[in-house]
């Protein structure tokens, strides 16, 4: 099926003259890398391309060549629209005004297949990895600049090749991108290691109210925290990935207050725990190990109802682990 869809996408790119590429609000490294990578490749193929990210580009990714071409909104007519790394249209921030896009390329298991052509591969480690695999089939060259953008997406979404879905295939793809000129040390450093002083101050606000219940930890970031730290983004400045490194936890969560009366919730889970369905329950989505949702309500209201549901998931997971351990212990006792 993917080969048929790939052929249809190739024909769509061949016939198009003006292409729109969009990805999700609060873009992460995969959204940015995929957008810039595909955008630059289509430009090199002679297309007029608009790359649109409704929330713009975080400063930490402006080192990528082509980042200056990203705009906040659609500015001119198009004849082909492509949505990248989005499980549903709401995640685009209304860039398409709810019109059905032509192409949807994604790796989230919760993707709703909302486009005319849907290339959705949950087994892929990143949307950028899907593009790295198929762009040669579509007649698009992977130059050094394109390879750098795509490898940034892969590095970001795998947290530096340490997520549980990493495979030999993914590592081979990364190696191919390095062979095409992408410089891994710089990309890794820029995407995952370096953070601004203001981001660190912002982290401090959240870390000061860190909570734990059994193997679940969580914290929150308010609009006042953002103002005090002088942090200009509307995300968590990657604090959730710091929380996910804490020992003796199965699930990490962060609640980020937004200006529009909504709260952005992010989950991270250790292998064996699936948080994607709980995110989907609240109108979001993602992966088993990393998911998110944006929920209407005050910070206190959202925290209360989401924590109840997540605590239940955490307790069920603990019960399942204990059940397995008891079974193994019983089998060992019987064997002795």
Answer whether residue 202 is part of any domain.
Answer: yes
Overall number of domains in the chain: 2
DSSP reduced 3-state for 262: strand
Residue 315: its pLDDT value, please? 82
Residue 233: its pLDDT value, please? 85
Residue 328: its pLDDT value, please? 36
**Do residues 39 and 178 both lie within one domain?**
yes
Answer whether residue 333 is part of any domain.
Answer: no
Residue 331: its pLDDT value, please? 43
Domain holding 271, by residue range, is 197-324
Taking phi first (over 0 means left), then psi (-120 to 50 degrees means alpha), and beta for anything else, what does residue 322 get?
A: alpha
Among the residues of 45-135, which ranges form H helices? 127-134
**Do residues 9 and 114 both lie within one domain?**
yes
Residue 287: its pLDDT value, please? 84
Residue 163: its pLDDT value, please? 87
CATH code (residue 251): 3.10.310.30
**Do residues 207 and 126 both lie within one domain?**
no
**Do residues 125 and 159 both lie within one domain?**
yes
Residues in the chain with pLDDT values less than 70: 1, 318-336
**Do residues 123 and 146 both lie within one domain?**
yes
Answer whether residue 16 is part of any domain.
Answer: yes
Contacts of 201 (CB under 8 A, 6+ apart): 228, 229, 230, 231
This prediction has a pTM of: 0.86
**Do residues 182 and 269 both lie within one domain?**
no
Pick the closest to residue 292 from 245, 331, 235 (CA basis): 235
With b for 16 or more beta-carbon neighbours within 10 A and e for fewer, the 75-97 pattern comes to eeebebbbbbbbbbbbbbbebbe
Q: What is the pLDDT of residues 280-298, one digit of tens each?
A: 899 888 888 899 999 999 9
In the structure encoding, which two tokens stand for residue 280, read together?
A: 């989907």
Residue 94: its pLDDT value, please? 86
**Do residues 144 and 215 both lie within one domain?**
no
Q: What is the pLDDT of residues 104-132, one digit of tens each?
A: 999 998 899 999 999 999 999 999 999 99
Residue 336: its pLDDT value, please? 42
**Do residues 92 and 125 both lie within one domain?**
yes
DSSP reduced 3-state for 103: strand
Rounded CA-CA distance 54/255 in Å is: 21
Answer whether residue 329 is part of any domain.
Answer: no
Residue 265: its pLDDT value, please? 97
Rounded CA-CA distance 91/155 in Å is: 22
Answer whether residue 332 is part of any domain.
Answer: no
Residue 1: its pLDDT value, please? 56
Name the strand (E) or helix (H) holding 268.
strand 262-269
């Amino acid at each position: 099926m993917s080969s048929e869809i790939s052929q249809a996408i190739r024909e769509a790119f061949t016939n198009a003259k003006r292409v729109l590429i969009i990805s999700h609000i609060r873009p992460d490294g995969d959204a940015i890398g995929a957008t810039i990578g595909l955008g630059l490749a289509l430009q090199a193929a002679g297309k007029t391309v608009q790359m649109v990210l409704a929330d713009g580009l975080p400063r930490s990714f402006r080192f990528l060549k082509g980042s200056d071409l990203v705009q906040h909104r659609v500015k001119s007519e198009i004849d082909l629209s492509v949505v990248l790394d989005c499980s549903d249209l709401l995640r685009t921030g209304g860039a398409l005004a709810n019109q059905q896009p032509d192409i949807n390329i994604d790796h989230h298991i919760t993707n709703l297949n909302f486009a005319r052509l849907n290339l959705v591969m949950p087994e892929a480690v990143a949307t950028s990895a899907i593009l790295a695999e198929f762009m040669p089939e579509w007649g698009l060259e992977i130059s050094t600049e394109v390879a750098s953008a795509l490898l940034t997406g892969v590095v970001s979404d795998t947290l530096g090749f340490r997520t549980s879905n990493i495979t030999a295939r993914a590592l081979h793809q990364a190696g191919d991108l390095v062979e095409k000129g992408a410089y891994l040390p710089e990309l890794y450093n820029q995407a995952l290691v370096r953070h601004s002083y203001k981001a660190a101050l912002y982290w401090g606000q959240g870390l000061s109210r860190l909570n734990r219940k059994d193997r679940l930890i969580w914290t929150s970031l308010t609009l006042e925290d953002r103002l005090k730290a002088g942090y200009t983004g509307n995300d968590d400045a990657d604090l959730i990935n710091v929380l996910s490194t804490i020992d003796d936890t199965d699930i990490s969560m962060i609640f980020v207050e937004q200006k529009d009366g909504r709260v952005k919730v992010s989950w991270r889970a250790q292998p064996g725990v699936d948080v994607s369905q709980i995110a989907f329950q609240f109108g979001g989505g993602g992966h088993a190990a990393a998911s998110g949702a944006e929920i209407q309500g005050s910070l206190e209201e959202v925290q209360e109802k989401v924590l109840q549901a997540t605590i239940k998931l955490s307790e069920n997971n603990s019960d399942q682990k204990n059940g397995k351990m008891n079974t193994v212990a019983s089998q060992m006792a019987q064997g002795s």
